[in-house]
Amino acid sequence: MTTNFSEIPTFINLNDMRNLLIFFSILYCVNANSQRITPPEPERNRTYDVRHIDIKVKVDLLNKSVNGNVKTTISPLTDGMTEFETDAVALEINYIKDIDGNDLKYDYNRTKLKIYTANKLNTGDILIYETDYSCSPQKGMHFIYPNEFNPSLPYQVWTQGESENNRHWLPIYDYPNDKTTFEVRIITDKKYQTLSNGYLKSSSDIEGSNLREDHWVMDKPNSTYLIMIAIGEFNVLEENNSGLLLQTFTGKDVSADDAIFSFRNTNEIIKLFNEYFGYDYPWNKYAQIVVDEFIFGGMENTSATVLNKRLIINSEIEKNYSPESTISHEAGHQWWGDLVTCRNWKEFWINESFATYSAALWKEKKYGNDEYDFNILRNSDDAMRADSLIGRYPILGTYGNLNQNVYDKGSVIINSFRYILGDNFKTFLRTFLKDNEFDAVETGDITEALNKVSDVDFTPLIEQWILKAGYPEFNVNYNYDENKKELTLNVKQVQKLDSLTPVFRLPMDIRVKSAGEKIIKRIQINSADETFVIPVKGKPDFVIFDYGNNIMDKTYFNKPFSDWVNQIIQSEDAIDRITGLRGMQNFIKDKLPENKLVKFDDNADGYDILQNSLNEDTFWGVRAEAARILAFAGDKNRAYGILSKSYDNQSNYPVKREIINSIGKLNTAGSKDFILNILKKESDGYIIAQCISAVKKFDKSEIYEIVIPFINKESHRNLVRDNVLEALDTADNQIDDGRIKDAIMSIAFGKDIESMLRSKAINSLKKYAKDDDVIKKEKEIISINSPFVRRSAVNLLANSMDKTQTAFLKDLEGKTTDESLKRTITSAIKQLEENNK
């Protein structure tokens, strides 16, 4: 992928919630004391094969408890098995028996069950054992309920198994390298609907009670982290896609019109993937369930995806945001992650990179090639930015929480597979899925499928792109010889070479455009310094290195200003106009040379080129890119004039937001009045949020008065409140104003505040962590069932410097079975004790 200047852009695509969350995760990793980027643990060794799991759970939403009975069928993988382990966290075990009712001995350390067989078992033998238990899960199964801080929440239960969290409510082999069929019987109050994987075999009221039992069956093999259940009062929409049942579950507070509008393209998405992957949707239904307080954007449980409530939109919101990236990403997972599943977490990229690429395919199908190219470019930008800010790590291995590799970079590399394979790309996808259906896979299986369908040996390409790290950085220049009618192109790789970052070997398309001639030449780069000669008919108007932007790379192309201008004006594809604009940044003050274009007069310069692209280009992404680049202008007042005059003429809301963003960054004399004027006249929540974000550049003493009128403004995804909070936090770090504390506390401890926003507000109270009123409130809120809020409250308590709080935290630590929260509590106790020595 080509980036033609040294600074990686920070264009934020608010149309994609996942990209926004990734951006914030980058900021978190950069600022955290410990980045926690660690290699994955080795793959778990299987000693037995799970053949089937029969699950029966009685779920009490009021008491937040489960009574369960699980019958598991296993077969040893070696002879002489006398014992085996299964995962089970904080379960109260009533008994474990074999199929004949004989008690089986077991040891239990509260995280793993070691079960002893009555006799030695050999390969081919079958053991069916039954575990009866109860639990009150603190992870894996999430109980949503009205409480003091969120009185409007409904009663719901939903599970989140990935990565290894179903063990908190099931005794189960909880690792992806085994696949099994399963069935789930859910007993709960008959007023609730239930959902699980597979098909609903039966549903019957339990005589003499207010309970009902729903029996769900998944008759094709799955990894156990994909097992899910959901319970609640939902509106259900159904349609039929050529015999496939499509279902949408939404809360009672979501209108049918909004639900239909938000998910209206699901049918078309499934049809696209059926055709493109060459493999029909593998399950017997596809349900999407929107729940309250979900901790991710979505989770691809087989045939039953759980989704965040933020995905619900209407036609007005769609001017700024579409849920389609998340919806198509999760739908893509039904093939990539569910049909074929990473065999260990080191191979997680196979799940996520292909699902991320699936979302790009949907954009290409629905909105065209320019949208697809821009999506891939922004994924590349995200990956490069993470590489620069967080560190350089391979895609293989995932290395902790480095999502930018397994999501973004991986999708860009898959785009390169497509570029190299051409028409054989679809054949590769179909071959891989057919060869590995219902199995756990690894990178070697990807390589094998690629090599099956191609004359190119993909083994070294997989090594440099997946097993190693980084990307090529090119210094490129060219010379034209009029006498020989030859263009000589010199290509140098200048990235720092080490054990992770090699000299890259890859193909690259070069476009040469001159009068009456369009040449596209594919070169093969094999070394750090190479020269290529391309015959041409005349002096080039422009030359593009990495035409079409098919390779993830950073390119410093030393070519004339007129070449960049011609590339911008004459390129048919938006992606080449965008890379041309990125080259223009280095020439933003230069005058147009003698070889001028008819479109501009003799005094035209880089600003005129950018202004023309901002106002005239047909693709919104080009216009947004021009607006973004103007923020880096040397002549800030001239750039401000171009941007401010363009604002009212733009009909595309993301472009309008990028104009506001750049005007805020320029911070000229006119910027403040422009932003305040927009705040007065605009009602769109996304535009208001962007303006408030720009306010952070203002005098810190003015911020409170400007943003406080918007602190209670409702907006999609809470963007307005979120940006008000950030602006207040920015001011609070530099000035003392007691009103700011009260405002932040109104979000941190207010009524019916979404957990992600509440958590962020609690984090912003660090300056006041010693205050008694803050300590009192954070101790109260620790009890609510939100992992975000609980961790933030514990961390804030650690900053109180009040050693007397260690007793409270130690009591909480003893009651906590969520290992990640327990680590946070243990760290907080240590911090308090060390600060008071």
Classified as helix, coil or strand, 201 is strand
> Splitting the chain (837 residues) into consecutive groups of 10 residues, what average pLDDT does each group show?
33 41 39 50 96 99 98 99 98 98 98 98 98 98 97 98 98 99 99 99 98 99 99 97 95 98 98 99 98 98 99 98 98 99 96 98 99 98 94 81 87 99 98 99 99 97 97 98 97 97 98 92 98 96 98 96 94 98 75 38 72 98 98 92 98 99 96 97 98 96 97 97 98 94 98 97 97 97 93 97 95 95 97 85
The string of DSSP codes covering 631-700 is TT-SSHHHHHHHHHHHHTT---HHHHHHHHHHHHHH--TTHHHHHHHHHHH---HHHHHHHHHHHTTS-H
Q: What are the distances in angstroms from CA 519 to CA 262, 523, 546, 568, 752? A: 44, 12, 13, 17, 60
Q: Hunting for tokens 């005794």 — which residue is that? A: 171
Q: What are the distances in angstroms from CA 87 to CA 107, 152, 169? A: 12, 35, 10
Largest Cα span, the chain: 97
Question: If we measure between CA atoms, which residue out of 296, 393, 297, 298 comes closest to residue 349?
Answer: 393
Which two tokens mark 611? 């202004």
> How far apart (Å, rounded) are the C-alpha atoms in residues 38 and 193?
41
> What is the distance between the terminal CA atoms of the chain, rounded to a whole angstrom?
53
The distance from CA 793 to its chain's CA centroid, rounded to whole angstroms, is 25
ω into 613 cis (within 30 of 0):
no
Q: Are 406 and 353 in contact (CB under 8 A)?
A: yes
Phi-psi region of 124 (alpha: psi -120 to 50; beta: other; left: phi over 0): left
The 8-class DSSP code of residue 591 comes to B
User: 554 - beta bridge partners?
Assistant: 473
Q: What is the pLDDT of residues 242-255, one digit of tens each?
A: 899 999 999 999 99
Which residues are within 8 A (CB) of 498 and not within 5 positions of it... i.e. 6 or more apart? none
Q: Are 453 and 424 in contact (CB under 8 A)?
A: yes
Q: What is the pLDDT of residues 378-407, one digit of tens each?
A: 999 999 999 999 999 999 986 545 788 999
- pLDDT attached to residue 351: 97
Classified as helix, coil or strand, 128 is strand
Other C-beta atoms closer than 10 Å to the C-beta of 428 total: 22
Query: Letter for the amino acid at 223?
Result: S
- pLDDT attached to residue 12: 39
Other C-beta atoms closer than 10 Å to the C-beta of 147 total: 13
The 8-class DSSP code of residue 44 comes to P
Classified as helix, coil or strand, 575 is helix
User: 232 - beta bridge partners?
Assistant: 156, 193
Domains of the chain plus CATH, in order, are: 17-36+339-467 (1.10.390.10), 48-232 (2.60.40.1730), 481-559 (2.60.40), 765-837 (no CATH)
Q: Are 672 and 706 in contact (CB under 8 A)?
A: no
> How far apart (Å, rounded) are the C-alpha atoms in residues 467 and 78?
32
Q: Hunting for tokens 């901790």 — which residue is that? A: 295
> How far apart (Å, rounded) are the C-alpha atoms in residues 20 and 499?
32
Other C-beta atoms closer than 10 Å to the C-beta of 219 total: 14
- pLDDT attached to residue 399: 58
- pLDDT attached to residue 189: 98
The 8-class DSSP code of residue 34 comes to -
Q: Where are the alpha helices (DSSP H) in 280-424?
A: 324-333, 348-367, 369-389, 403, 410-421
Residue 262, φ and ψ in degrees, nearest 5: -65, -35
> How far apart (Å, rounded) are the C-alpha atoms in residues 83 and 761?
49
Report the half-sphere exposure of 60 (CA within 13 A, side-chain side): 10
Which residues are within 8 A (CB) of 755 and not within 5 positions of it... i.e. 6 or more apart? 293, 786, 788, 789
- Residue 404, burial from CB neighbour count under 10 angstroms (0-12, 13-18, 19+): buried
Q: Are 132 and 68 in contact (CB under 8 A)?
A: yes
Q: Are 169 and 137 in contact (CB under 8 A)?
A: yes
> How far apart (Å, rounded) are the C-alpha atoms in residues 21 and 29?
12
